């Protein structure tokens, strides 16, 4: 079972992957409206990273007490890279099929929401509030992406 620190670390890494994903889409799309939307989504994900960094500061002591943090950190990194923003999503980036890319991005947003909802149930007030806000923003991302299909 992951500790609170590891869960927040995973959430932060998921959002970092999202930042990179949307930033790369913005750089590779020619349509200015799509470019603007992807930049916006990247900025939103950056905000989520900052939220999780803030929450992680509360668990700094715990991280020092984790016996195999180096092993755990690699595991968390692998989870973040494969769980939400999957290999198929990254592979689709080289495609010009934006319908497919957008559909996969919507699925990634849904997976991140499911993850955040699962940890929100046991979270303390500050963390639960932050997760609620992020979930709302992720739902907004889905609606914006659906508008591109």
Domains and their CATH numbers in the chain: 4-146 (1.20.1260.10)
Section 127-134 average pLDDT? 86
Average pLDDT over residues 139-146: 93
Provide, rounded to the nearest whole percent, the portion of the chain with pLDDT above 90: 30
| pLDDT at residue 149, rounded to an integer | 80
* Dihedral sign computed on CA atoms, order 48, 95, 114, 119: negative
Q: How far apart are CA 112 and CA 3, in angstroms?
A: 18
Rounded-to-integer distance, Cα 80 and Cα 111, Å: 11
pLDDT of residue 86 exceeding 80: no
């Amino acid at each position: 079972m992951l500790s609170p620190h590891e869960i927040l670390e995973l959430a932060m890494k998921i959002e970092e992957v999202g930042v990179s994903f949307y930033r790369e889409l913005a750089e590779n799309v020619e349509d200015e409206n799509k470019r603007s939307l992807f930049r916006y989504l990247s900025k939103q994900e950056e905000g989520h990273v900052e939220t999780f960094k803030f929450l992680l500061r509360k668990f700094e002591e715990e991280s020092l007490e984790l016996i195999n943090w180096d092993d755990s950190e690699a595991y968390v990194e692998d989870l973040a890279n494969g769980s939400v923003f999957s290999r198929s999503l990254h592979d689709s980036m080289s495609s010009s099929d934006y319908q497919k890319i957008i559909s996969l991005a919507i699925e990634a947003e849904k997976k991140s929401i499911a993850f955040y909802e699962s940890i929100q149930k046991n979270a303390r007030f500050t963390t639960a509030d932050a997760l609620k806000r992020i979930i709302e923003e992720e739902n907004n991302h889905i609606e914006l992406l659906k508008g591109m299909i």
